[in-house]
Amino acid sequence: MYRRTSDRAAPAVGQGPQTTLWHAVTEVRQCEPAALIVPPRIVRRMIKLDRELPYLGLRVPHSDSLVVSRATLLRNVEPEEVDGASLEGLPERVLLLARPGDRELAGMTAGELLLRLSRQMVHARVHAALEDAIQSKRLKPRDVRRRIDQLGQVAFDEAVAVLRSEERLFDDFDAIDAYCELAATFIEQRTFVPHWLPVYFPSLPDADRVAAIIGQDIDIERLAGAERLPASVVPIVQAQRAHVLEGFADWARTESSTAAVQENEAAQLIHEFSVAKEALGHVQPNSWHVHRYLRQAAQRLERGNTVGAAVCRMAALAWAFPADWHAIENLVLECVQELRRRLCRALALPDEEAHQWDACLAELLVLSIDGFWNHEKRLLYDLQAICVDFERPVHQVDLIGWLRTFGRRPLQRPLPNQQLVQMTKRLQRSMRRLSRCRVSTDRRRRLQRLLSAALVSTERQMRQRFRPMIEDVLESTGFVPDVRPEIVARRKLTEELLDIVAEHGLLTFGNLRDAIARNQLKLPDVGGVVELLLGDRLLRANRLLGERLEGVYQRAPFYLRWLQRLSSLAFGTRTGRFLTRFVVLPYGGAFVVLEGLSHLLGLFHVDNQRLRAETTLVAVGTLILLLMHAHRVREGLVRVLWSVARWLRRLGIEWPQWLLESTGLRRLLRSRWTLLFRRTVFDPLLLTVLICWGGAAVGWLPSVPNVWWQLAMWIALSLLLNSRVGRDVEEVTSEWIALAWRQACTAAAVLFEAVMTTFKRLLEGLERLLYAVDEWLRFRTGESTLTLALKAVLGVGWAAVSYVVTFATTLLIEPQINPIKHFPVVTVSHKILLPMAGPLSKFLAPSLGTALAGTAAGAIVFVTPGMFGFLVWELKSNWRLYAANRPRELRPVLVGPHGETMIRLMKPGFHSGTLPKLYHRLRWAVRHGHPDRPDVAEHKYRERLAHLQEAVSRFCERELLGLLRVSRRFGGVDLSVESVRVASNNIRFRIASQWPDGPPCEIAFQEQSGFLLACVLDLGWLRDCTPEQRCVFATALAGFYKLAGVDLVREQIEKALGPHHPPYDIREHWLVVWPDAAFETEVRYDLSHRGEIKPSPRSAAEAFLLPVLHGSRLFFRDTPLTWQWWVEFWEAESLDAIPSPPPPHCQVLPDPSADPQPLGS
């Protein structure tokens, strides 16, 4: 317990890496005679030859194993290249397995090496078996499509994305390649690491069902059964499975609220520390140190520092004689129990959890001795800080207000709202810190459950306290809803503000303004001069929140208040909106765009005078004006851009790809004479030109060599490249260049991420520092009068310092270093202000002097442009505050914890794809777990997935169920989100209902080929609802889909395809349909067309009577749902009138008589 070491076994003494490798190779060859273990370079070479990859390719996928014929192997590999392994006696088909590199091999044990080679062997066996099935026509393309349909198209697409991310598929893969790789990976993981499957393929059905589907093509038991594995690896696999099962059992015991915990477990842990300390012999007993630490413990107990006293008593125990152990251990246990009692009072914990807290706190205390300021000690102090927040209320010290009112205003004011907020923040910090602590897995899970329950309880209390306050402020300042959707919007506004308080511990004016800008409850136009001067509803809410939530809400500084007043003239009045929309935005935007382009062209010394001409400004501004306000112009430009993009795609991608994939050209490029010409003539000639002409261009050669020298170099290179040495040099060089290029690209991405993260953390750290000083300057109950006077005086000076730092950071510095805000506004501002540096310096010179005036002028010119970036960023939110500027149609809203829409949450991209990126990192954490703490990184990413899951659940709760609760037909129905299940490319909601009682209704969002699809997997209790209720639910669901940004709805696709719709799939920009049950005929619809979409090939479509589709009826995103219609529908529904239904082609619910469909079917 005191000194933990890795459980990983060290290599046996006298057994070097090569000996370990020889034994592992021998055992694998005895189990599989077709296996050949070779260096990784050989496998990569054979893959390049087999797949015809370029030697200078940036990556070689699937480079750990390969199935290759013996003739091809002997033709391209020399016997001495395979580490002495014999190439004689190999079967017709060889399983090439890449051994680890020398550096990696030196750090592996014999068991790890044998397990890795066995996994590669099983993987290669599956590939060989599937190749046999394909060659013998037992597995045909139609059978592969049937298997994919059985697995589920969405689940299969997720698996393909995972395999591509893990570099298991080649760029030119097809459905057969993907299915074979999925089968091999699945069987490998099911055999050796079954606990990886839910992380790699979370959308796949259960493992037994997938194995049954794959088992239709191959005999899994014959390929991966225990009798087909090396004898030494079977106990390792069984031990791993037992360890996983034991971990699940421990988790189940820990999750159980009735888990039995020994009452003396804490005392046993403390005694184990004493015994381990003596056994290690790190310190010799010393009475003087014992008495010194015990005195310090008594002093800290008097000040209420229970954790400090416990740490001192543990230090005394470390120096104590065995005769004194029992007494000091009891003193330590008293501190542990006192801390637990304080936590129980602060968090209102149930009595049955007391002993569980004792054991967890005791282990943290034991581990806190090892190190000065380790994570265990920090966690203990965080827990004690929760007790201090509960026991000693906080007061605001206001010396300026006390002096200004001549003592009528109290010097110290209580801040009752701070208690729950601070306790919530400290619990959140404790949860994050727990993942870094070295506690045992069982107690880590137990403590995580205890802290999680305490956090949920505290956050619930905080929300219950603040919710009526915020609702009262919104009501009293005029944020009163007039229609049903606005009722839902105001509830959502309140909950979003509470989310910010729970996450950050404070609420600012910017948070309030942005929440209203995103909400459907908007501000009316400015009522007049009086409202302009006294403040609109937003500014009144700012004042009232500052009074009601003092200590939690930070009022807006003067510059934000006046910015709100001035922007209301431009955005909250008819005249201001007219000037903004028809003058400022089009022509001002044209000026910024042209200046930005001029700046970019100037960097490359390109003439940019035409961009600065007034006629260019007027033309570009008028074009922007037409695009903003003329629907036909905008639609025509989009149509032209789509046509240009489609032709560019045909010219640059589709036709060259068709040409390269044509049988004749491929046969020509693979012919013996073409390969001979490339090896003997073209490649040496290309290198000769690069060396001679390139060397002379960069100065490596004094001049271009003459023709005879070039001819001699060409002959020498031809001979060299076609020798074994030349082949090895070419192979190593190409791999080195590819590796260097990938590392350079990775370094560039890492550098960009590091710069962004560094600035972000600096700003967040500065904000935390300011807030921490503000917290320290608050007066706590029990502090002395001298402390009160000191904090009152220091608070005056600190208020000025904090205000200046915040102003400079927010307005001048942050927009300069944030690239999103910097270009092009700040860049153009720099260009405009830079010529003013000279005149400003001359103007300041008489009063400041030449040197100081130049410095001041340069500083002003450098920092002032940041204000323009700040203004543009702030005004973007201010425009959306007013009801008159509300979008005409329902638009996607932010869903994710980082401000993503649903599609950006699920679609991989540079600034999107949070969900697949989290799963990618989780897979990395599972593969590369720390030997001592294997679940630290995994826990971190699972926690982030849980936060994302909670955010998605709140989106469904507030947008869909919130609207149904205020409806007439569902007003008395108890609806709730029963569960949310997330995978890397789909999210599923289960909505439960108490009446009508029945199975949950299940809704799914799915990302396929960049499209966001939605469907109802199971109607559940909706089957028992009345037709009127289903109509209301369908309308609410359609609006929910609009807010999620859904592109396609499966029910709408199936309705367009006909009553007996065939199986279909979304692949790239195609809707692929198989009209026959055998999956032999494939018909495509081009989804990039905006009008009529005709099926191709036409003959097959006519044979199976497939319809011609229309883009506006196929795409749900093209179905307009206006705000006015939305309000009219729900108002009519509330009056029990007959509301106008959605468009007839807008189908979002399946037939109630239909059976539930599996995911992605």
Rounded to whole angstroms, the Cα distance separating 757 from 969 reads 49
**Residue finishing a domain among 707, 727, 747:** 747
Question: What local confidence, expressed as pLDDT, does residue 930 receive?
Answer: 53
Question: What local confidence, expressed as pLDDT, does residue 931 receive?
Answer: 44
Whole-number Cα distances in Å, 669 to 652, 664, 677, 800, 1057: 20, 9, 10, 75, 42
For residues 49-77, give the mean pLDDT: 79
Structure tokens at 197: 């499957």
Structure tokens at 1017: 């997997």
pLDDT digits (tens, 9 = 90+) for 994-1053: 877 789 999 999 999 889 999 999 999 999 898 889 999 999 999 999 999 999 999 999
Helix pair 17-31, 110-135: axis angle to 10 deg: 30
Q: Within a domain: residue 1028?
A: yes
Rounded to whole angstroms, the Cα distance separating 384 from 362 reads 14
Contact indicator for 1032, 967 with CB cutoff of 8 Å: yes
pLDDT digits (tens, 9 = 90+) for 16-27: 667 778 888 888
Rounded to whole angstroms, the Cα distance separating 797 from 818 reads 30
464 has a pLDDT exceeding 90: yes
493 has a pLDDT exceeding 90: yes
Does residue 293 share a domain with residue 417?
A: yes
The one-letter amino acid code at 759 reads F
Does residue 166 share a domain with residue 295?
A: no
Helical residues (DSSP H) of 890-1000, grouped into ranges: 902-906, 914-927, 936-956, 962-965
Does residue 1113 share a domain with residue 1026?
A: yes
β partners of residue 37: 97
Does residue 982 share a domain with residue 1051?
A: yes
Top pLDDT among 78 and 794 is at 794
The one-letter amino acid code at 715 reads I
Rounded to whole angstroms, the Cα distance separating 1155 from 1016 reads 11
Contact indicator for 312, 300 with CB cutoff of 8 Å: yes
Top pLDDT among 117 and 673 is at 117
Q: What's the helix, strand, coil split of the chain in %, to 5? A: 65, 5, 25
User: What's the domain count of the chain?
Assistant: 6
Residue environment code for 1089-1102, b if the CB has 16+ CB neighbours within 10 A, otherwise e: bbeebebeeeebbe
256 has a pLDDT exceeding 50: no
Top pLDDT among 234 and 541 is at 541
Q: Within a domain: residue 1122?
A: yes
Does residue 272 share a domain with residue 248?
A: no
The 8-class DSSP code of residue 722 comes to T
Which of 591, 590, 588 lies closest to 831, judged by CA?
Answer: 591
913 has a pLDDT exceeding 50: yes
Place of tokens 């008489």: 846
Rounded to whole angstroms, the Cα distance separating 379 from 364 reads 8
Structure tokens at 293: 């630490």
Q: Within a domain: residue 915?
A: no
Sign of CA dihedral 1019, 1023, 1027, 1029: negative
Rounded to whole angstroms, the Cα distance separating 177 from 144 reads 10
**Residue finishing a domain among 704, 727, 747:** 747
Structure tokens at 772: 């921490």
Rounded to whole angstroms, the Cα distance separating 736 from 730 reads 10
Question: What local confidence, expressed as pLDDT, does residue 1084 receive?
Answer: 93
Q: Give the number of other Cβ atoms within 10 Å of residue 566's Cβ.
A: 14
Top pLDDT among 543 and 603 is at 543
Does residue 239 share a domain with residue 129?
A: yes
Q: Within a domain: residue 601?
A: no
For residues 507-512, give the mean pLDDT: 92
Rounded to whole angstroms, the Cα distance separating 268 from 592 reads 71
421 CB-near residues (< 8 Å, 6+ apart): 462, 501, 505, 506, 551, 552
The 8-class DSSP code of residue 108 comes to -
Place of tokens 């037909």: 969
Place of tokens 């639910």: 1033
For residues 926-940, give the mean pLDDT: 68
168 has a pLDDT exceeding 60: yes
Rounded to whole angstroms, the Cα distance separating 377 from 366 reads 9
Structure tokens at 370: 């090892």
Question: What local confidence, expressed as pLDDT, does residue 2 receive?
Answer: 35
Rounded to whole angstroms, the Cα distance separating 1011 from 1046 reads 8
Of 73-77, 283-287, 507-511, the range with the highest mean pLDDT is 507-511
Q: Please, what is the Cα angle at 754 between 748 and 759, to 5 degrees? A: 135
**Residue finishing a domain among 254, 282, 315:** 254
pLDDT digits (tens, 9 = 90+) for 613-662: 788 888 989 988 888 888 888 888 888 888 888 788 888 877 887 776 67
Contact indicator for 370, 283 with CB cutoff of 8 Å: no
Residue environment code for 151-162, b if the CB has 16+ CB neighbours within 10 A, otherwise e: bbbbbbbbbbbb
Whole-number Cα distances in Å, 377 to 369, 440, 674, 1089: 8, 16, 70, 63
Whole-number Cα distances in Å, 490 to 897, 963, 1124: 20, 11, 18
Question: What local confidence, expressed as pLDDT, does residue 455 receive?
Answer: 93
Separate counts of helices (H) and strands (E) for the chain = 53, 18
Does residue 205 share a domain with residue 186?
A: yes
Q: Please, what is the Cα angle at 1054 between 985 and 1142, to 5 degrees? A: 95
Phi/psi for 1119 (5° steps) reads -85, 115
The one-letter amino acid code at 31 reads C
Does residue 342 share a domain with residue 244?
A: no
Does residue 682 share a domain with residue 657?
A: no
Does residue 1105 share a domain with residue 1040?
A: yes
Q: Within a domain: residue 542?
A: no
Question: What local confidence, expressed as pLDDT, does residue 3 receive?
Answer: 36
Rounded to whole angstroms, the Cα distance separating 212 from 186 reads 12
Place of tokens 């305490």: 454
Phi/psi for 38 (5° steps) reads -135, 165
Contact indicator for 621, 586 with CB cutoff of 8 Å: yes
54-68, 92-106, 801-815: least confident range: 54-68
Does residue 58 share a domain with residue 116?
A: yes
pLDDT digits (tens, 9 = 90+) for 32-48: 889 998 888 888 888 88
Question: What local confidence, expressed as pLDDT, does residue 444 receive?
Answer: 83
Do the strands 412-414 and 1083-1086 form a parallel or antiparallel pair, or are they unpaired? unpaired
Average pLDDT, rounded, for the chain? 84
Which of 581, 613, 614, 611 lies closest to 596, judged by CA?
Answer: 611
Rounded to whole angstroms, the Cα distance separating 1059 from 1147 reads 13
For residues 1121-1125, give the mean pLDDT: 93
Rounded to whole angstroms, the Cα distance separating 518 from 458 reads 28
Place of tokens 């009138």: 1137
Q: Maximum CA pair distance of the chain?
A: 103
pLDDT digits (tens, 9 = 90+) for 430-446: 988 888 888 887 788 88
Does residue 693 share a domain with residue 784?
A: no
How many residues appear in the chain? 1161
The H or E element containing residue 93 is strand 93-98
Phi/psi for 788 (5° steps) reads -60, -45
Q: Which domain holds residue 641?
A: 634-662
Q: Within a domain: residue 1127?
A: yes
Tell me: cis bond preceding 656? Omega within 30 of 0 counts.
no
- Tell the burial category of 1112 from Cβ atoms under 10 Å away from its Cβ (0-12, 13-18, 19+): middle
Contact indicator for 474, 490 with CB cutoff of 8 Å: yes
Whole-number Cα distances in Å, 492 to 498, 592, 796, 900, 989: 10, 36, 38, 17, 19
The one-letter amino acid code at 299 reads Q
Q: Within a domain: residue 647?
A: yes
Residue environment code for 94-107, b if the CB has 16+ CB neighbours within 10 A, otherwise e: bbbbbbbeeeebee
155 CB-near residues (< 8 Å, 6+ apart): 201, 203, 204, 205, 1159, 1160
Contact indicator for 988, 1013 with CB cutoff of 8 Å: no
Contact indicator for 546, 555 with CB cutoff of 8 Å: yes
511-525, 625-639, 740-754: least confident range: 740-754
For residues 55-59, give the mean pLDDT: 56
For residues 929-952, give the mean pLDDT: 78
> What is the full DSSP assignment across 955-977?
HHIIIIIHHHHTSSSSTT--EEE
The 8-class DSSP code of residue 320 comes to -
Q: Within a domain: residue 332?
A: yes
Phi-psi region of 823 (alpha: psi -120 to 50; beta: other; left: phi over 0): beta
504 CB-near residues (< 8 Å, 6+ apart): none
Which of 988, 990, 1034 lies closest to 1147, judged by CA?
Answer: 1034
pLDDT-derived band at 179, boundaries 50, 70, 90: very high
